Structure 1
Amino acid sequence: MKTFPILETNRLVLRNIEKNDAKSVLKYLSDVEVMKYYGLEPYQTVEDVLEEISWYQSILNENTGIRWGITLKGENELIGSCGFLNIVVQHYRTDIGFELSKDYWGKGIASEALEAVTKYGFEQMNLQRIQALIEPPNIRSQKLVEKQGFLKEGLLRKYEYTCGKFDDLYMYSLLKEDCEF
């Protein structure tokens, strides 16, 4: 990928996340409620966030993922992110992840970003399957992906070990033929 793809929706611009975004990213990644189901402890410092931003760049360079920063049109401050990780090219599938500043919950922003990213994945990256792994208590994220057409396929028991505990995860999927873009 030569240039980072910028995605625009009615209200949003999804763009590359850069080092100078670290303070904006820290605002939401340090929030206990935002990080509750993220699988990591809330971030404490700008240095922690700079490591996350470096990881975004590394998955892009390795073609194993891409993460877009979410901004409101006309504003440059990041309010969240959405993107792909664990891309498996030979199987035309990827995982999707997202988080949004609590100040913007319930406004349809995550839904708008998720739709733009999934559309890009199916139309530009030739993906066949996009999957989301969501902790059972994370009802908001389950409702979000279900609204986008993702189907719950089942429960992966004790699938991840994060923050000192094993977590069950629901597996959701969206297939290319399920979408009408």
Structure 2
Amino acid sequence: MLKDYEIDKPILETDRLIIRVLNENDCADLKEWLGRDEIYTYWGRKASKSEKNPELMFIDPRPWVKRKPSPDFDWGIVLKESNKVIGMI
């Protein structure tokens, strides 16, 4: 069953929110909050390079390597009314 999610990632919806896979179009929203060091206060670290530059999350560092679909992905929490990414899971 988990194998199915490697290709068809689910989208979950509530009355106010959509939980879906993040994509390159979300970078502007992610930049507003993801790179702020105060978010990581309780993690005991500062924001990483890719967190400060979310477009790096979507660049394959080794494009010449053939990859299989991955079951791993980042969930985005999106406000339904504005389609704005407000968080991640």
TM-score (norm 1): 0.35
Q: Deviations over 1:127-177 (max 9, x none)?
A: xxxxxxxxxxxxxxxxxxxxxxxxxxxxxxxxxxxxxxxxxxxxxxxxxxx
1:62 to 59, 67, 70: 70
Q: CA RMSD in A?
A: 2.8
Q: In the TM superposition, what is the alpha-carbon distance from 1:33 to its structure 2 partner?
A: 1.9
1:74 to 61, 67, 81: 81
Letter in 2 for 1:3: D
Q: Which has the larger radius of gyration?
A: 1
Letter in 2 for 1:62: S
Once residues 49 and 22 of structure 2 are traced to their aligned partners in structure 1, the CA distance between those partners, rounded to angstroms, is 19
Q: In the TM superposition, what is the alpha-carbon distance from 1:14 to its structure 2 partner?
A: 0.7
Higher relative contact order (CA 8 A, sep 6+): 2
Match of 2:18 in 1: 13
Letter in 2 for 1:32: D
Letter in 2 for 1:29: L
Match of 2:40 in 1: 35
Once residues 79 and 52 of structure 2 are traced to their aligned partners in structure 1, the CA distance between those partners, rounded to angstroms, is 25
Structure 1 residues 23 and 45, CA, compared in 2 at 3 Å: closer, same or farther? farther
Could you list the runs of 4 or more consecutive aligned residues of structure 1 that deviate by over 3 angstroms after TM superposition?
37-40, 43-47
Q: In the TM superposition, what is the alpha-carbon distance from 1:6 to its structure 2 partner?
A: 0.5
Structure 1 residues 46 and 3, CA, compared in 2 at 3 Å: closer, same or farther? same
SS at match of 1:10: coil
| Residue correspondence of structure 1 range 129-144 to structure 2 within 5 A | none
Once residues 37 and 29 of structure 1 are traced to their aligned partners in structure 2, the CA distance between those partners, rounded to angstroms, is 14
Once residues 39 and 51 of structure 1 are traced to their aligned partners in structure 2, the CA distance between those partners, rounded to angstroms, is 22
Q: For structure 2, which runs of at least 5 residues remain unmatched after alignment?
A: 1-5, 61-68
What percentage of residue pairs aligned between the two structures are identical? 29
Q: For structure 1, which runs of at least 5 residues remain unmatched after alignment?
A: 56-60, 83-181
2:29 to 24, 28, 42: 24
